[in-house]
């Protein structure tokens, strides 16, 4: 089986499909992925779902199952199968219990979410997929009952019944020295400005790559993130927002325009200047190639998303309220922000307590 890119006729939108062993799209999966594209889901999300469903279809084929007849026990076996090495999945060798899982727990849970979303979509469209996988429920939150919803005795079960426990990981952040080293390793103003925007705004890389000149209000020292379709595939994952920035960043933007951008006739901020096709929007791949070069120069194995984590952590440590941080990041709710960035260390907690006067002027003595 194969995941293959496609272009939606008429709109030219890029999407993905899953080809069977006969090189023909798997109809049920193809329609689901087309639906995701039609409702505006990110191309990266559609691509990830296509890979997840390809794995599920390979599992069904290996077990000789039809997707309409799969049951809870089969989904459980799918979880086990995902964690096997390729030779083990194909049944070529026996796998010892001590073998390290092929994929992480978070990856397994993401694939389960894709399978669950697929079955929910099929149930909404009248497919007989069995009430153990998806069943319609009117009212309340969500539109379908997950696995084993019927055993909750009147209390709707709102999560997946099958999910692996994922170890909590703290967001990776960059120190001020590491950020400076990355910026100083940039030999071009465009590249330096790109990382400076990531550092200052906490935006995602795709949001920065999708910036237009009209999004930068120099006089007001503001950068707006605007959801839109871009030629380079860059897009805002969440809704639009405006982020205040400092005058130094605006000056760097002006230097970039004056010294490197010149007379390029494009409304995109980040474009190809030295590579072909010149003047075209800078792509994800070009930006990531730069990251790889900077990793080699600095010895810092960073990822562009670390700048977002670093900005959020810096704001919170500097006393910015979590409500404001949530808006700056474009999160849908403060709960999302708390879940990701509620990771203050013991040193952070001590600093906050000292600032509040907790260790001085006690009303009681020991």
- Domains annotated for the chain, with CATH where assigned, are 2-145 (no CATH), 176-311 (1.10.443.10)
pTM to 2 decimal places: 0.71
Q: Say whether 361 sits in a helix, a strand or coil.
A: coil
d(CA 244, CA 213): 16
| pLDDT less than 70: residues of the chain | 10-12, 90-102, 128-164, 166-170, 238-239, 342-349, 352-353, 356, 358-359, 361-366
Three-state secondary structure string covering 186-242: CCCHHHHHHHHHHHHHCCCHHHHHCCEHHHEECCCCEEEECCCCCCCCCCCCCCCEE
Residue 77 corresponds to which tokens in the numbers above? 């076996």
Question: What is the rounded distance in angstroms from the CA atom of residue 15 to the CA atom of residue 4?
Answer: 9
d(CA 119, CA 21): 22
* CA distance linking residue 30 with residue 21, whole number of Å: 15
- The predicted-structure confidence for 81-97, as pLDDT tens digits, reads as follows 888 877 777 665 454 45
Residue 352: φ, ψ to 5°: -65, -40
Dist CA 164 CA 105 (whole Å): 6
**What is d(CA 240, CA 226) in angstroms, rounded to the nearest whole number?**
5
Triad 85, 86, 91: Cα angle to 5°: 95
Rounded to a whole number of angstroms, the CA Rg of the chain reads 24
Rounded to whole angstroms, how far apart are CA atoms 100 and 85? 9
Instruction: Give yes or no for a contact between 216 and 254, defined as CB atoms under 8 angstroms apart.
Output: no
By DSSP bridging, strand 144-145 and strand 2-7 are unpaired
Contacts (Cβ under 8 Å, ≥6 apart) of 177: none
- pLDDT for the residue 188: 97
Alpha-carbon gap, residue 45 to 227, rounded angstroms: 16
Phi, psi of 18 (to 5 degrees): -115, 125
Q: What is the reported pLDDT for 83? A: 85
Burial of 164 (0-12, 13-18, 19+ CB in 10 A): middle
User: Could you give the 3-state DSSP secondary structure of residue 183?
Assistant: helix
| N residues, the chain | 366
| C-alpha span between 291 and 270 (Å, rounded) | 15
pLDDT value of residue 340: 79
- Max CA pair span of the chain: 79
Verify cis geometry, omega within 30 degrees of 0, for the bond prior to 277. Answer: yes
Which residues are part of the catalytic machinery?
A: 204, 237, 305, 308, 331, 341
CA distances in angstroms from 261 to 92, 256, 286, listed in the order given? 56, 6, 17
Instruction: Name the burial class of residue 342, with classes exposed (0-12), middle (13-18) and buried (19+) by CB atoms within 10 angstroms of its CB.
Output: exposed
- Both structure tokens of 38: 């039609």
């Amino acid at each position: 089986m194969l995941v293959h890119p496609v272009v939606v006729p008429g709109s030219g939108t890029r999407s993905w499909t899953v080809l069977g062993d006969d090189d023909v799209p798997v109809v049920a999966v193809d329609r689901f992925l087309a639906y995701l594209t039609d409702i505006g889901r990110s191309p990266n999300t559609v691509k990830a779902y296509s890979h997840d469903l390809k794995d599920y279809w390979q599992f069904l084929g290996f077990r000789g199952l039809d997707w309409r007849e799969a049951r809870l026990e089969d989904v459980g076996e799918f979880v086990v199968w995902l964690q096997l090495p390729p030779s083990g999945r194909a049944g070529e060798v026996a796998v010892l219990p001590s073998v390290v899982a092929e994929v992480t727990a978070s990856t397994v849970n993401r694939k389960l979410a894709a399978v669950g979303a697929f079955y929910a979509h099929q149930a909404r469209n009248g497919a007989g997929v069995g009430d153990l996988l998806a069943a319609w429920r009117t009212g309340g939150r969500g539109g379908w009952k997950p696995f084993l919803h019927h055993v909750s005795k009147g209390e709707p079960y709102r999560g997946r019944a099958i999910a692996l426990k994922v170890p909590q990981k703290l967001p990776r952040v960059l120190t001020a020295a590491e950020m400076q080293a990355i910026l100083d390793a940039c030999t071009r103003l465009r590249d330096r400005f790109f990382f400076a925007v990531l550092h200052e705004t906490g935006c995602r890389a795709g949001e920065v790559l999708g910036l237009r000149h009209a999004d930068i209000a120099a006089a007001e020292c503001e950068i707006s993130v605007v959801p839109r379709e871009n030629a380079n595939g860059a897009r805002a994952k969440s809704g639009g927002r405006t982020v205040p920035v400092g005058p130094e960043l605006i000056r760097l933007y002006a230097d970039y325009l004056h010294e490197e951008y010149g007379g390029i006739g494009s409304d995109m901020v980040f474009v190809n200047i030295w590579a072909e096709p010149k003047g075209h929007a800078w792509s994800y791949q070009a930006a990531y190639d730069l990251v790889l070069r900077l990793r080699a120069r600095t010895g810092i194995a960073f990822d562009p998303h670390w700048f977002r984590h670093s900005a959020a952590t810096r704001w919170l440590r500097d006393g910015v309220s979590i409500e404001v941080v949530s808006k700056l990041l474009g999160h849908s709710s403060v709960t999302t922000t708390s879940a990701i960035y509620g990771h203050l260390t013991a040193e952070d907690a001590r600093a906050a307590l000292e600032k509040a006067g907790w260790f001085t002027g006690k009303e009681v003595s020991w």
